[in-house]
Amino acid sequence: MAGADQRKLSFPFPDTSGSELPSEFARLREEQPVARVVLPTGDEAWLVTRYADVRGVLTNPLFSRAAAEAPGAPRIGHSGPGPHTILGMDPPDHTRLRRLVAQAFTARRVEELRPWIEKIANSLLFAVNVAPRPVDLIATYTLALPLKVIFELLGVDYEDRDKLHAWAEVIFSLNAHSAEAVAKARGDLNEYLRTMIDARRRKPTDDLVSALIAARDEGDKLSEDELVDFVLILLTVGHMSTANNLTSAIFSLLRHPDQLARLYENPELVPDAVEELLRYNPFTLTGTQLRVAVADVEVGGVQVHAGDAVVAALGAANHDPSVFADAGTLDLARDPNPHVAFGYGAHHCLGAQLARAEMQIGISALIRRLPNTLRLAVPEDWLTWRLGLTARSLASLPVVW
Amino acid sequence: MTGGWRLELDRAACRNAGVCVGIAGAYFELDADGRSRPRAELVSPDDAVVDAAFACPMEAISVLDTRTGRVVAPGSLHQT
Ligand code: HEM
Ligand code: SF4
């Protein structure tokens, strides 16, 4: 087709129904590691696909998240985290906010939460076990577990989960909803949180929201908008990323029966398996939010100009054969495994240790409580997918055993 | 000698998230095996260093005041 070569690549790549990482990532990593792409909004960006370049971009202060939230900046969809959030700022503003809650998410703190997370997982699986089959593991387990965990850490009423999750889906969807629908969902969620924060002010409790309110009211460490948006980000990102990754991980295991069998036989492999499932996850679209260059800067031999947007493709980096031998193979015992599924640098996932614990416990409990005949209830191509801002995710995961 | 603070990094605890390098790249760098290390052990007081220490998910970074011995930011090497 004449002219097709001249056309810039559309990104995310159009093939978004398969169960493999789109092949374009491997081709670009080889041939054009910093490639010009057109985003769904019509804005353009540089797509960075090599591991070393991805880490380089994510630790370089010249690539700014604040600049990417500024009016007029290139955008990937109708929404983003927003300029008042930890994910929409650069150090030192970013760090001021991150410090307020970092202690609640350290490896040490998360260790203490494990027995409690295990209890939640076990009680959910009790219901899964007695439910009529096929069972949708998302509704009953992979979404319910992270929802319960983050709602309780924040002190948000679990009764409101359906409404809150639905708003989050709209806010973090790539292109399924209009700009107006996204703005309305964000407005509704904001109002819900403002009401909740007001109530909590009058009657403080022992949770993260009350701790953030105290940081605002007593320490003047953050503004009211920052407070509301912080809770919004923790609540939404805090359950959606984990739910998507836990679902994708279980789906990948079901697609690799040899690896699933290996796990049933060697449950002590679970921690390594989780790292590998995070690395392997073929459903990562971008992995991170856009960065915008605040000065001219070179990446992988390409001159990026001030104002240009950059996408650091975590999925492509995690499948870079110069770092991961047989990168396309799911090897649950892979070691070392320096994947970047949680990002890298200043914005490296705040919830990474918590997410790791949830995924480890989620998978351990699953193989302990469901028999090894566990399998998909329908052919793979019957499954439906949703496109989010950074990843795509299954709409349901029907299983039988 | 630049006086003031001493940086200590528990390399066994470091999980290579690059947070410290992203927040305070003037003070931390990644070595060949991908772990972080302080560029210099002794530094002048700077909030960015404390920010990095408090943001480290593994609590691998400690900041000590060289004169008083006070722990400015407690990492895993200095927790009781
Ligand atoms: C498996 C699950 C998860 C994955 C794969 C994941 C992945 C990521 C990634 C890639 C980033 C960096 C984004 C960027 O640089 O643009 C990030 C940031 C973040 N994540 Fe997660 N995440 C997960 C779970 C969680 C959980 C459970 C929480 C709840 C606390 C959370 C809260 C955050 C926050 C607040 C940020 C922003 C940090 C900052 O800007 O300093 N995430 N996550
Ligand atoms: S922030 Fe902590 S875990 Fe991450 S690289 Fe620095 S020292 Fe290591």
**pLDDT tens readout for residues A7-35:** 689 998 876 667 889 999 999 999 999 99
Domain at B63, CATH number: 3.30.70.20
From A71, A33, A70, select the one nearest A53 (Cα to Cα): A33
For chain A, give the percent of residues with pLDDT over 90.
Answer: 81
Q: In Å, how far are A7, A63, A73, A117, A222 from A43, measured between CA atoms?
A: 14, 17, 9, 42, 32
Place of tokens 């994708």: A248
Quick check: B21 and A92 CB within 8 A?
Answer: no
Q: In Å, how far are A112, A156, B76 from B80, measured between CA atoms?
A: 17, 33, 9
C-alpha–C-alpha distance, residues A251 and A376, integer Å: 8
Mean pLDDT of chain A: 93
Separation in Å, CA of B53 to nearest CA in chain A: 9
Whether A1 has a pLDDT exceeding 70, the answer reads no
Quick check: A345 and B21 CB within 8 A?
Answer: yes
**B77 touching A (Cβ < 8 Å):** no
Quick check: A91 and B48 CB within 8 A?
Answer: yes
- Into how many domains does chain B fold? 1
**pLDDT tens readout for residues B17-39:** 889 999 999 999 988 777 899 99
Asked if the structure places residue B56 within a domain, the reply is yes
**A58 touching B (Cβ < 8 Å):** yes
Asked if the structure places residue B80 within a domain, the reply is no
From B17, B23, B57, B29, select the one nearest A91 (Cα to Cα): B23
pTM of the model as a whole: 0.94
Whether B69 has a pLDDT exceeding 50, the answer reads yes
From A30, A14, A68, A35, select the one nearest A304 (Cα to Cα): A35
Asked if the structure places residue B44 within a domain, the reply is yes
Confidence band (pLDDT; 50, 70, 90) for A353? Answer: very high
**pLDDT tens readout for residues A139-181:** 999 999 999 999 999 999 999 999 999 999 888 888 788 889 9
Residue A58 with chain B: CB contacts under 8 Å: 18, 22
Residues 6+ apart with CB under 8 A from A266: none
Asked if the structure places residue B78 within a domain, the reply is no
CB A125 within 8 A of CB A150: no
Q: Which residue of B has its CA nearest to A98?
A: B55
For chain B, state the CA radius of gyration: 11
CB A344 within 8 A of CB B22: yes
CB B48 within 8 A of CB A91: yes
3-class secondary-structure state, position A399:
strand
Whether A385 has a pLDDT exceeding 50, the answer reads yes
**A279 touching B (Cβ < 8 Å):** no
**pLDDT tens readout for residues A196-208:** 999 999 999 999 9
Instruction: Provide the pLDDT for residue B78.
Output: 74
> Pairing between strand A375-376 and A385-387?
unpaired
**pLDDT tens readout for residues B39-65:** 999 999 998 999 999 889 899 999 999
Asked if the structure places residue B75 within a domain, the reply is no
Asked if the structure places residue B31 within a domain, the reply is yes
Quick check: A346 and B58 CB within 8 A?
Answer: no
Pocket lined around ligand 1, Cβ cut-off 6 Å: A 86-87, 94, 98, 105, 233-234, 237-238, 241-242, 245, 287-289, 341-343, 347, 349-351, 354-355
Instruction: Provide the pLDDT for residue A87.
Output: 94
C-alpha–C-alpha distance, residues A101 and A78, integer Å: 28
Asked if the structure places residue B19 within a domain, the reply is yes
Q: Please compute the mean of the pLDDT values over residues A343-360 and round it to a whole number.
A: 96
Whole domain around residue B62: which residue ranges?
5-68
Instruction: Provide the pLDDT for residue A2.
Output: 40
ipTM: 0.86
Quick check: B57 and A105 CB within 8 A?
Answer: yes
Confidence band (pLDDT; 50, 70, 90) for A56? Answer: very high
Mean pLDDT of chain B: 87
Asked if the structure places residue B61 within a domain, the reply is yes
Confidence band (pLDDT; 50, 70, 90) for A122? Answer: very high
DSSP A376-395: ESS-GGG--EEEBSSBEEES
> Which of A92, A106, A344 is facing B57, going by the closest CB pair?
A106
Place of tokens 């069972």: A135
**B2 touching A (Cβ < 8 Å):** no
Sign, CA dihedral A19-A316-A92-A292, equals: negative
